[in-house]
Structure 1
Amino acid sequence: MLNNNTMNIARFLFLSLFTALAFTSCTDKTNQLTNGVWRGALQTDNSVDIPFNFEIYDSLGVKQMAFLNGKERLNINEIEETADSVFIKTPLYESEIRAVKTANGLQGKWIKHLPNKTISMPFMAESNQSFRFVKEENSGVINMTGRWSVQFYKNNGTDTTFAVGEFEQSGNQVNGSFLTTTGDYRFLSGVVDNKTFMVSAFSGSSPVLFTGDLTDGSDIIKGKMYAGPSSVMNWSARRDEDAMLPDAYKIAGLKPGNDRITFSFQDLDGNKVSLSDDRFKDKVVVVQFLGSWCPNCMDETAFLAPFYEKYKNKGLEIIGLAYERYKEMDKAKAAVLNLKNRFKVNYPILLTGYTNDKGQVEESIPALDNFSAFPTTIIIKKDGTVDKIHTGFSGPATGKHYTEFTQEFEKEINKLLAE
Structure 2
Amino acid sequence: MLRPLLLLSLIGCSGLTFSCAGQSKPTTVQPGTYRAVITTKGGPLPFGLALEPGRQAGTYTAFAINGSERLAMDMATVTGDSIRIPMALFDSELVAKVDGKTLTGTWRRHRTAQQTLTLPFRAELGPNYRFVPDSKSASTTIAGTWATEFSNKRNQVDTVNAVGVFKQTGNRVSGTFLTPTGDYRYLDGNVVGDSLFLSCFDGSHLFLFKAKHNSAAKTLAGGFWAGISGYESWVAKADPNAKLPDPTSLTYLKPGAKTLTASFPEPNGNVVSLTDPRYKGKVTVVQILGSWCPNCMDETNFLSPWYKKNRQRGVEILGLSFERSANLTESGPKIERMKQRFKIDYPIVLAGTNDKAQAAKALPELNAVVAFPTTLILDKKGQVRHVYTGFNGPGTGKYYDQYVDEFNNLITKLLAEK
- TM-score, normalised with respect to structure 1: 0.89
Quick one: distance in 1 between partners of 2:383 and 2:329? 33
- Deviation sequence 1:120-177 (CA, Å, 0-9, x none): 1111111111111012537342111110000101125873110000000000110100
The code of the aligned residue for 1:185 comes to Y
The code of the aligned residue for 1:107 comes to T
The code of the aligned residue for 1:409 comes to F
Within the alignment, does 1:375 sit opposite 2:373 as a pair? Answer: yes
Following superposition, the deviation at residue 217 of structure 1 comes to 6.0
Following superposition, the deviation at residue 77 of structure 1 comes to 4.2
Quick one: distance in 2 between partners of 1:311 and 1:55? 34
Aligned residue in 2 for 1:361: 359
Within the alignment, does 1:256 sit opposite 2:251 as a pair? Answer: no
- Deviation sequence 1:298-334 (CA, Å, 0-9, x none): 0000100111112211110100000001122112111
CA contact (8 A) 1:138 1:194 kept: no
Determine which of 84, 95, 99 is the counterpart of 1:98: 95
- Deviation sequence 1:33-61 (CA, Å, 0-9, x none): 212211111112x3611111111222446
SS in 1 for 2:406: helix
The code of the aligned residue for 2:73 comes to I
Aligned residue in 1 for 2:317: 318
CA contact (8 A) 2:282 2:314 kept: yes
Aligned residue in 1 for 2:188: 189
Determine which of 41, 53, 71 is the counterpart of 2:48: 53
Following superposition, the deviation at residue 242 of structure 1 comes to 0.3
CA contact (8 A) 1:206 1:227 kept: yes
Aligned residue in 2 for 1:344: 343
Aligned residue in 1 for 2:36: 40
- Deviation sequence 1:84-106 (CA, Å, 0-9, x none): 11111115211111111235611
SS in 1 for 2:248: helix
Determine which of 110, 114, 126 is the counterpart of 1:113: 110
Quick one: distance in 1 between partners of 2:136 and 2:196? 13
- Cα gap change, 1:403 to 1:138, in 2 (>3 Å): closer
Aligned residue in 2 for 1:212: 211
CA contact (8 A) 2:266 2:332 kept: no
- Provide the aligned C-alpha RMSD in A: 1.8
Quick one: distance in 1 between partners of 2:152 and 2:136? 33
Aligned residue in 1 for 2:17: none
Aligned residue in 2 for 1:399: 397
The code of the aligned residue for 1:34 comes to Q
Quick one: distance in 2 between partners of 1:163 and 1:214? 17
- Cα gap change, 1:167 to 1:414, in 2 (>3 Å): same
Quick one: distance in 2 between partners of 1:76 and 1:381? 37
Gaps of 5+ in 2: 1-23
Gaps of 5+ in 1: 1-26
Aligned residue in 2 for 1:7: none
**Stretches of 4+ moved more than 3 A in 1?**
59-62, 217-222
- Cα gap change, 1:47 to 1:264, in 2 (>3 Å): closer
Aligned residue in 2 for 1:271: 270
- Cα gap change, 1:217 to 1:60, in 2 (>3 Å): farther
Stretch deviating more after TM superposition (250-259 or 287-296): 250-259
Within the alignment, does 1:133 sit opposite 2:125 as a pair? Answer: no
Quick one: distance in 2 between partners of 1:140 and 1:372? 39
Aligned residue pairs, count: 388
SS in 2 for 1:54: strand
Following superposition, the deviation at residue 206 of structure 1 comes to 2.1
Identical columns (%):
41
Quick one: distance in 2 between partners of 1:360 and 1:408? 30
